[in-house]
Structure 1
């Protein structure tokens, strides 16, 4: 999909960011702030926000609006950190249905945000804000994620923690999860202390505040007043840059086929 061939006026395809959604209004507010940061970095780019569930507007409604306005192309960018169920099933399903309803609208789907050094840079920046310089051999770090029934998604978080451990030479680093699998945050903190960590910090591999991130925070605080807790990735400039990169890389790939049947 090339930007110059997208719309009749030669304008670029619309960027439709899609997040999971949450009953917690802080989540939608964070996604809106992240979209604002993308617009700040990419003036003139048409950025829309949508959700899969629990928050509005929903992805089908946003794509319907884009089509109704006469746009010819859109790129859906999943604001998901792993290629788990939502990325493998929910987003493709919604895009396929939208393509059938709006055959005049070419819809491409970008990759998820996970797997990029920019995402790690944002998480490390949040960690530094609470833990200070990261060249501390006495530091133990928990990289806390929501957790998934899709084992490769959990393994990807563990790989990030392992990479940080090799890079910084801490006393330890481990992934932990709020749901679906173990270790839990308290289990991970206890393991790091057994390994000799003199300080423990919890970094969040999570985009926005919500009910499960709150549970992670409670677990961290319950483990002791000395446990440091970094904030979620939120509207970090590096995350916004990554969204724009995912969008741009999709422009150089073939247009998503209009799902048949």
Structure 2
């Protein structure tokens, strides 16, 4: 039996950098997994839409789909929006929703990669405070993920680590930067725990004005592409088993 098609589901944005970054990540997944058919759909703002992609796949004879939310935590989109869209897929498609990307050691590795690409080195860790800045959410589960990562990072040699949020929760990035300064960290770096540019990542950047280092978004980091493949493999196993593969 052929491998199930991987459908990457992104939120979408009016900012053209968002879709460009999503497509760059999908290209990296295709490069790593030439054995897979990989499609991309957006929940809002961008085309193709998720319903449109599902219809197109069904019309093309695809039977099995693994839908991978391009999300870092289990919040409203993963729990409500995406399941609702997938429930309306053509009946001839067997669709399984994969787990969200985070938390994962691979995302932590991608965050470190972006910090080092922005100019830090491992030798800077004892004198550098890190703001782990995310988009923010009203969902306690999503907020807990950021807090857990920050706690883990505190034990890996950084001067100090503080979470921050661009919306819904506090502290804001600028407040966390200020706190790390007051703690005596020689330099302050902001790691953006977001996948693609857009309104909220830009808000994080503005709040980083007093920081020494601002890391890029995760984007098409190789660790993220590898994680997409791992989530796909985990999700496809029940599908394969059901088909007797």
**How would you bin the TM-score normalised by the shorter chain?**
over 0.9
Does the CA contact (< 8 Å) of 1:38 and 1:243 recur in 2?
Answer: yes
Provide, for residues 204-243 of structure 1, a one-character-per-residue CA deviation record: whole Å limited to 9, x for no partner: 100001111111111112x2xx521000000011101110
What's the Cα RMSD here? 1.4
Residue 250 (1) aligns with residue 235 (2): yes
Aligned match for 1:106, one of 94, 102, 114: 94
What are the ranges of 5 or more consecutive residues in structure 2 without an aligned counterpart? none
The 5 A counterparts of 1:14-53 are 14-53=5-44
C-alpha distance in 2 between matches for 1:29 and 1:202: 23
Aligned match for 2:218, one of 221, 226, 233: 233
The runs of at least 4 consecutive aligned structure 1 residues that moved more than 3 Å come to none
Does the CA contact (< 8 Å) of 1:171 and 1:195 recur in 2?
Answer: no
Residue 147 (1) aligns with residue 136 (2): yes
Question: Post-superposition shift, 1:254?
Answer: 4.7
Task: Report the counterpart of residue 6 of structure 1 in structure 2.
Answer: none
What are the ranges of 5 or more consecutive residues in structure 1 without an aligned counterpart? 1-9
C-alpha distance in 2 between matches for 1:214 and 1:52: 21
Aligned match for 1:219, one of 177, 200, 207: 207
C-alpha distance in 2 between matches for 1:171 and 1:250: 38
Task: Report the counterpart of residue 202 of structure 1 in structure 2.
Answer: 190
Question: Post-superposition shift, 1:161?
Answer: 1.4
Count of residues paired in the alignment: 240
* SS of alignment partner, residue 208 of structure 1: coil
C-alpha distance in 2 between matches for 1:31 and 1:54: 13
C-alpha distance in 2 between matches for 1:201 and 1:131: 10
C-alpha distance in 2 between matches for 1:132 and 1:138: 11
Residue 85 (1) aligns with residue 76 (2): yes
